[in-house]
Structure 1
Amino acid sequence: MKIAALLSGLLLGAAMIAPSAIAQDNGPEARPIYNRDQWLPKSVPTSDDVLRIPVPADYNAPKGSFVLVGGRLFDGTGKAARPATIVVQGKAITAVLGPDDKNWPADAVVYDVTGKTVMPGLIDLHSHLTFMEGADAASVYSSANMSGAESVMRGVKRMGVYLQAGVTSVRDVASHGDAPFVLKRLQAEGQLPGPRIMAAGQLITQTGGHGALHTFQPGYPEIHDQNPNSMVRVASGPDQWREAVRIQFAKGADLIKLASEYSQAEITAAVDEAHSLGLPVTVDSETQYIDMAIKAGVDSIEHPLPRSDAAVALMAKRGIASVPTLVAYRVIMRGSGGYFGSTSRRFELNEQVNENMVAKMRRAGVKMGIGLDVVALAGTDFLPGSYIDELESFTRIGFTKSEALVAATKTGAEIMKMGDRLGTIEPGKLADIIVVDGNPDEDFAALRKVKTAFVNGRLMLQDGRIYKPAHEEVPMPERK
C-alpha cells in the first residue's frame, strides 16, 4: 500500500512539472547556418568578415612586415604564457618563434617589447557604437532620429576609446541606420583607427518589443513607419521578420540581432532566413522567449536573464553561446537603484541573481564570451574598468584568470564565427595584437596599461595613444 501510494505521488509530481522544465530536443525548426566553406576552398582568398566574399590575394593587407621581440606571449589558446617572438607579414601572423630565433625578414620593423605581455586583442561581443548617452539616451525622440552624421561621429569617438582599452574587435549588435557599416568599411580600409567591426545593423523586434521605443516619438512618426536612422526595425509577422533580415544582409550585416517579444513563427522565420544567408543570429530575450529562440535554432543569447534549467541544458547541448553582459546590469542598477520601466524585464534582477544564472550556465558547459553592453550613463568612459569588471565576474563563477582571458579572445572569435582568423596568436591568424605593460593573465589590472595595438597588421595604438600614419603627399599632375 505504501509503495503504491509512493508511486502514485511520484507520477502526480511528474505530471505537475511544467513542460518547459523537461529537457526535450527535437532539433531546431530553422535550417542550419549556410556552410560558407562548402563551395570555397581555403585556397580562395575571402573578405575578413563573416560574409567571406572572394577578394584579391592582397586584399586590405598593409605592406611590409614587423616583429615583436623580447616579450612574454599569452597566445589565447589556453597555454601558459612563455617567452616568444612574433613575426607578422602584411595582415597575417606568419611565425611564432623561440626567444633566441631570429629567422625573420631582414627588412622587418622590430619592436622591442621586453618586460611586456603580447596577446590577442580583446573582443567585446556586445557593443552599440552609436547609442546615445546620459540625458540624451533618455530621450526617445533623439535616440530614434539622430542624424547619420552624428551617429558616425559618436562611433568614431567610441572606437578610439575601445582601442586604448585593448579591444581590437567589437560585435555591434544594433546601431543607427547605416552608421555601423560606414564605420566598418572605413576601419577595414585602414582609414579609421579602431577595432574591427562585426555589424548587425538594426535590432529586429515586434511592435512594442524590447527596444521598440527607440523607433518613434508618439505621434511622430507613426508607430508603423520605419525610420531609416533608427537603431531598431519593427516587424510584424513571419514575412516582415524575413524581410527585415534581408534588409540588414543587403547593407552588409555580419550577424542578425533579434529581440523579444515575438511569436514562434516570427523568430523561426528570421533565424531560417539569416541562416540561409550564412549569418549567425543572436537574441536579446528572457523566460519563455528564450525557449522559443532555442526552438528556432539561434546561435547565441545575450544577457543573464531568467531561463529554465531545461533551456540551459539545451543551450549546452546545441552549442548555443551566451554573452552574459553582467557589468551592464551592474552599471544600470547601481546608477538607478534598479532596472525600471521595461516590459521585457518583468522579473527580479539584482547582481547576485544574475551571477547565479551565469554560474548555472558555466556548470552546464554553455560557451560564454565577454560582452559589455555598457551604453547607459557614461558608456565607453568606463573602459577599461568595465572590461576588467566583466573578467572578474567570470572568475567569480568558476573561470581561472587565464580561462577568462581565453573567453575574451579565442571564445569571442568563435562566437563571432571568426575563430579560424581571430582570437589567438598563431601562424595564419590575422594580426590583431596588443602589447600590455604587465601580466594580465595574473592581474587583470594590467589591462589599464595597453601600450601598443595592431589591427589587421596595422599599427593603430602607440605608447597608449591613437596612431595614424602621417599624410603622404601625392604629386600634382604635370601640364601636358
Structure 2
Amino acid sequence: MLAWLRRLMCVVPLIATTVVAQDGGPEARPIYNRDQWLPHSVPTSDDGLRIPVPADFNAPKGSFVLLGGRLFDGTGAPARPATIVVQGKSITAILNPGERNWPADAVVYDVTGKTVMPGLIDLHTHLTFVDTGDLTLYTNGNTSGAESVMRGLRRMAIHLQAGVTSVRDVASHGDSPFVLKRLQASGEIQGPRIFTAGQLITGIGGHGALHAMTPNYPEVPNGNLNSMVRIATGPDQWREAVRIQFAKGADLIKLASEYTQEEVTAAVDEAHSLGMPVTVDAETQYIDMAIKAGVDSIEHPLPRSDKAIALMAKRGVASVPTLVTYRIIQRNSGGYFGSTSRRFELNEDTIVAMARKMRQAKVKMGIGLDLIISSPEYMPGAYIDELESFTQIGFTKAEALVAATKTSAEILHMGDRLGTIETGKLADIIVVDGNPDEDFNAFRKVRTAFVNGRLMLQEGRIYTPAHEEVPLPVRK
C-alpha cells in the first residue's frame, strides 16, 4: 500500500518556481507543513514521509513492563525511579515506584539497578559504505546491491549493541537503504530504525564525486544505479535528483558542495515542497549558500564565518558536527588528504574550536558519527567519544545525552514520536548497566534494547525471535 501511495504522489509535476523571501530570509519555500492536512488523530507512518496507515500498522502484539529501574527520560529532567509500560509499539504509562497498573498478560522485565532511557540516535551514518580503501567503489557503485545490504545489516547490529535505536543514513548505495529501512520497520531484521536520504546529491567534481565520472555520463550518472552519489548539473537536474530520492522513499535529502546558489536553492525548494528536510555537507562559502537557500541542518565542523554561525542560530539551522570521525582520520592518516572539498586547515584543534563556537551561539546540535570504511568497529567507543566531545564544548553530561536523544529526534523531524520516554511516544528504549548520565562508559554495557516495541537486544546480544511454524495446507 505504501509503495502504491508513493507512486501516486510522484506523478505531481516538478515545481519550477522558487519562493524568494523579500526580507532577506531563506530563498526556498518553508518545509511542507505535514500537520496542516493530517491532524494527529490520523495514523501515519513512523518516518519522515507520514503516509496515512492503519492504526495498528507495524505494531507488535502484546505488552511489556520495565519494572524497578532508574529512568532517564531524555527531557532534561534528572533520573528518577519509575516503571514503564508499553502496549504494542507505544509507551502507555510511566508509573511511580509501588504502582502496578498494567495488563495482566504483560511480560515483566525486572530492571532493578539499571538505567532505562530513550535509545541513542546517530544522525550521520553510511550503512553501506565500502569497507575497503578503494573509494571508487563508493562513487561508481561497482559493488552489488546484495553486498551493500549485507554490510548494512552488520553495521545495524553494531549500532544496536551500542544502544543506538535510530540512524539517519545520509548516503548509501542504490536502493539498499530503502530495503533495509522497510525490513527493519516490519520487524523482519534487527537493528535501529532507519531514516534515509538515498543517494548523496552533488555536482560534477563535488564532494564524494571527485572520481565518479564515467564514459557514458550523463545518460547513466556514475555508470551504475548502485552508486552512493547522484551527480546533477543546473537547477533542473538538482530538482530531478531530489525527486528521484523521494520516489524511492527518502525521508530527507542530503546535498554536498560544490554547487551554485541556484542549484542548492532549487534542491531545497523541491525537497521542502515534498515535505523533506535537507542537510548539507558543505564548507566556507558553500555554507553561506546553503543557509541562504534555507537548509535545515549542516554536517561536520568545517570552516564557516562567525556571520554564518549567527545566521544558523537565528534561522534554526541545526549542526551535526561529527567530531569523532575527524579524530579517527587524523590519527590514522595524519591528515585529511586528497579531497578538493577540504582545502583548508583541518585538525583536532580546529574541529573543537568550530563546535565550541556553534555551542556558544546556541546553534541546535545533535549527535552523528560518520563512521566509514572500518570505523564502525570503534563502536561503542566512537559514540562515547562524541558525547565526551560535547562536554568539552560546554554541555553537561546530561545535556549531551539530551542532544543524543531528544534534540537529535527533533533534527530528524521526529520529536513528536522519538527521543524521550513519555506517554504516547514510540517504544525505542534501552536498558543500561550503570548510570550513563554520570559516566558515558556505561554504554559499553547496554543489556537490552527495544525498537518500536520489539525486543531486539537481550543480554547484550542481538535477539531474533524463534521461527513460528505455519501448518501445511490440509488436503481437500
The alignment's TM-score, normalised by the length of structure 1, stands at 0.93
Equivalent of residue 39 in structure 2, options 29, 38, 41: 41
Equivalent of residue 284 in structure 2, options 283, 287, 304: 287
Contact kept? 2:165, 2:428, Cα under 8 Å = yes
**What RMSD over aligned residues (CA atoms) do the two structures have, in Å?**
1.3
Render the CA deviation track for 1:223-259: whole Å, top value 9, x for unaligned.
7632210000000000000000000000000000000
Alignment of 1:86 onto 2:81: no
Distance 1:40-1:188 versus aligned 2 partners, 3 A rule: same
Matches of residues 212-223 of structure 1 in structure 2 within 5 Å? 212-213=209-210, 215-216=212-213, 222=217
SS at structure 1 position matched to 2:307: helix
Once the 2 structures are TM-superposed, how far is the Cα of residue 141 of structure 1 from its aligned partner? 7.4
Q: How far apart are the structure 2 equivalents of 1:116 and 1:276?
A: 45
Q: How far apart are the structure 2 equivalents of 1:247 and 1:346?
A: 31
Q: How far apart are the structure 2 equivalents of 1:251 and 1:223?
A: 20
Identity %: 79
Equivalent residue for 1:456? 452
Equivalent residue for 2:15? none
Equivalent residue for 1:327? 324
Equivalent residue for 1:106? 104
Render the CA deviation track for 1:208-237: whole Å, top value 9, x for unaligned.
000013634xx5554763221000000000
Once the 2 structures are TM-superposed, how far is the Cα of residue 138 of structure 1 from its aligned partner? 3.6
Equivalent residue for 1:65? 63
Between stretches 239-248 and 378-387, larger displacement belongs to 378-387
Equivalent residue for 2:170? 173
Matches of residues 401-440 of structure 1 in structure 2 within 5 Å? 401-440=397-436
Q: How far apart are the structure 2 equivalents of 1:27 and 1:368?
A: 21
Q: How far apart are the structure 1 equivalents of 2:344 and 2:169?
A: 27
Contact kept? 2:138, 2:228, Cα under 8 Å = no
Equivalent residue for 1:120? 118
Equivalent residue for 2:351? 354
Once the 2 structures are TM-superposed, how far is the Cα of residue 70 of structure 1 from its aligned partner? 1.1
Q: How far apart are the structure 1 equivalents of 2:72 and 2:231?
A: 44
Contact kept? 2:84, 2:94, Cα under 8 Å = yes
Equivalent of residue 230 in structure 2, options 233, 253, 260: 233
Q: How far apart are the structure 1 equivalents of 2:290 and 2:338?
A: 24
Alignment of 1:313 onto 2:302: no
Q: How far apart are the structure 2 equivalents of 1:142 and 1:298?
A: 24
One-letter amino acid of the structure 2 residue matched with residue 235 of structure 1: A
Once the 2 structures are TM-superposed, how far is the Cα of residue 145 of structure 1 from its aligned partner? 1.5
Q: How far apart are the structure 2 equivalents of 1:206 and 1:260?
A: 7
Equivalent residue for 2:207? 210
Q: How far apart are the structure 1 equivalents of 2:372 and 2:220?
A: 26
Render the CA deviation track for 1:394-429: whole Å, top value 9, x for unaligned.
000000000000000000000000000000000000
Contact kept? 1:71, 1:85, Cα under 8 Å = yes
Alignment of 1:446 onto 2:442: yes
Q: Which has the larger radius of gyration?
A: 1
Q: How far apart are the structure 2 equivalents of 1:26 and 1:68?
A: 51
Contact kept? 2:129, 2:138, Cα under 8 Å = no
One-letter amino acid of the structure 1 residue matched with residue 409 of structure 2: A
Q: How far apart are the structure 2 equivalents of 1:214 and 1:107?
A: 58
SS at structure 2 position matched to 1:50: coil
Equivalent of residue 336 in structure 1, options 333, 338, 354: 333
Between stretches 140-149 and 168-177, larger displacement belongs to 140-149
Contact kept? 2:205, 2:211, Cα under 8 Å = no
Contact kept? 1:388, 1:445, Cα under 8 Å = yes
Render the CA deviation track for 1:263-291: whole Å, top value 9, x for unaligned.
00000000000000000000000000000
One-letter amino acid of the structure 1 residue matched with residue 383 of structure 2: Y
Once the 2 structures are TM-superposed, how far is the Cα of residue 146 of structure 1 from its aligned partner? 1.1
One-letter amino acid of the structure 2 residue matched with residue 451 of structure 1: R
Q: How far apart are the structure 2 equivalents of 1:257 and 1:154?
A: 21
One-letter amino acid of the structure 2 residue matched with residue 457 of structure 1: G
Contact kept? 2:137, 2:143, Cα under 8 Å = no
For structure 2, the residue ranges without an aligned partner over 5 or more in a row are 1-21
Equivalent of residue 95 in structure 2, options 97, 101, 105: 97
Once the 2 structures are TM-superposed, how far is the Cα of residue 142 of structure 1 from its aligned partner? 8.0
Equivalent of residue 389 in structure 2, options 393, 412, 434: 393
Q: Which runs of 4+ in 1 moved over 2 A?
A: 137-144, 213-216, 219-225
Equivalent residue for 2:9? none
One-letter amino acid of the structure 2 residue matched with residue 166 of structure 1: G
Q: How far apart are the structure 2 equivalents of 1:311 and 1:296?
A: 13
SS at structure 2 position matched to 1:38: helix
What count of residue pairs does the alignment treat as equivalent?
A: 453
Once the 2 structures are TM-superposed, how far is the Cα of residue 139 of structure 1 from its aligned partner? 4.2
Render the CA deviation track for 1:140-172: whole Å, top value 9, x for unaligned.
478622111111111011111111010000000
SS at structure 1 position matched to 2:152: helix
Q: How far apart are the structure 1 equivalents of 2:180 and 2:193?
A: 9
Equivalent residue for 1:14? none
Equivalent of residue 134 in structure 1, options 132, 135, 151: 132
Matches of residues 242-253 of structure 1 in structure 2 within 5 Å? 242-253=239-250
One-letter amino acid of the structure 1 residue matched with residue 379 of structure 2: L
Q: How far apart are the structure 1 equivalents of 2:440 and 2:169?
A: 24
Contact kept? 1:214, 1:230, Cα under 8 Å = no
Contact kept? 1:304, 1:358, Cα under 8 Å = yes
